[in-house]
Amino acid sequence: MTREQKQEGINILHADDEPDFLAVTKVCLKRENENFDIDTTTSAEEGMELLKGGKYDIVVSDYMMSGMDGLEFLGNLRQSGSTIPFVIFTGKGREDVAMEALNRGASCYLQKGGDVKSLYGTLARVIKGEVEKKRAEKWIKHRNSVLRAIRSVNQLITSENDRDRLFKGVCDNLIETHGYHIAWMAILDESGGLVTAAEAGLGKEFLPMVERLKRGELPDCGWKALMQSDVVVIEDPLSTCAGCPFADKDGGRGALTARLEYGEKVYGLLSVSIPADITAEEEEQTLFKEVAGDIAFALHSMELEEERAHLRKELESFTHAVSHDLRSPLFTIQGFVSILRNDLEQGKGEKVESDLKQIENGVTMMDRLLNDALELSRIDRVSNPQCHSGKLFKKQWSKQQRR
């Protein structure tokens, strides 16, 4: 689903010290946009506490409230580092208050009063516009972070030849740009057993997962990823990934998991956590799948290089053996050529046939050895046994389902 097609809900916190006005505003805004989810509070102090949970997309606040007023509320939020959109919605129409609000980082200043339909229509449009702008900015920032991570991973792939250092470096690069929160990967053998694993952002908390992987116990997202070529999307790990040791670490975040696949061979899994509100983005999944594909290609290339190195070693041994073996028939030919010359000079015609036969045997042996060497030189690619993922992982999935 693209960003244009997706209709996301908008969580609004409305602060005003008049409960009746809060109730009216909630009804009117809901009529303007059914995707609005509105919570209310009668004090800015309580609003500060509610915002700590990270649930809300925007704040709508009165200016004149008992205790902390709207400008103080806004100022405290900005001092805490929050960039949440903030709308001052007040009955006070003073220009100096409006300017102060905008200077402190308010998104908009709206005055209460006038035609109700027009007022709440305007407020609804402001809310929707400010939230969409904020989400777009967040998405662009995240996408650029992911693109930087992909570039770093590709640079690492071209320079790192050690498999374990590559895996650790990939995970580190994925989180260093802040594109992803945590990242982990597992390389599996053809029976689904763990070969090696790496992580970033988890530390010792990854150890229980390693033990599970050693026992062949993958998390549900892992099994699903092995069974399909598409990315597995988990928008709420806490509610959908019971028993996963990382579920509680992904609070407020979603997860993406993909198999590391090149051609018909599946090497293992890559999993990351990202902001929950962008997990369903098609472009996000495409970028993640690209990362997984690059890693799988690197594994494939390493595999080919290992086999080439093995073949080069065999070729060196064979070349040494051939050069040694060629000396024997060559010596035979040289010897019997000399004997043949002597026999001809001495007129021993009856021995010529035997001399020629010995020379012919030497030529035949050399011809066989040269043909073997020529055949080896024609090898233009390294054999690459493929792991047929369908049969293998369907069998593993069936075992998991029976547990």
Domain, as residue range, for 176: 139-304
Asked whether residue 220 is domain-assigned, the answer is: yes
Distances (CA, A) of 104 to 109, 149, 152, 180: 12, 34, 38, 31
Tens of pLDDT along 216-239? 888 888 889 999 989 998 887 766
Asked whether residue 2 is domain-assigned, the answer is: no
Report H helices in 43-115. Answer: 44-51, 70-79, 95-103
Same domain, 150 and 259: yes
Domain count, the chain: 3
Given a contact cutoff of 8 angstroms between Cβ atoms, the answer to whether 299 and 293 are in contact is no
| Lowest mean pLDDT, pick from 13-17, 265-269, 278-282, 285-289 | 278-282
Same domain, 172 and 65: no
Place of tokens 């800015």: 44
Same domain, 164 and 282: yes
Same domain, 281 and 351: no
Same domain, 206 and 310: no
User: Does residue 157 register a pLDDT over 90?
Assistant: no
Distances (CA, A) of 253 to 10, 61, 272: 17, 27, 10
Place of tokens 């809300």: 56
Same domain, 163 and 295: yes
**Position 322 confidence tier, pLDDT thresholds 50, 70, 90:** low
Residue 220's domain is classified under what CATH number? 3.30.450.40
142 vs 58, higher pLDDT? 58
Same domain, 178 and 102: no
User: Does residue 169 register a pLDDT over 80?
Assistant: yes
Tens of pLDDT along 333-370? 778 788 878 878 787 777 878 878 877 887 887 777 77
| Last-in-domain residue among 269, 287, 304 | 304
HSE-CB at 193 with a 13 A cutoff on CA atoms is 3
User: Does residue 175 register a pLDDT over 50?
Assistant: yes
Per-residue pLDDT at 202 = 87
Same domain, 28 and 120: yes
CB atoms < 10 A from the CB of 131, how many?
22
Same domain, 186 and 298: yes
Same domain, 211 and 199: yes
User: Does residue 293 register a pLDDT over 80?
Assistant: yes
pTM, to two decimals:
0.64
User: Does residue 180 register a pLDDT over 90?
Assistant: no
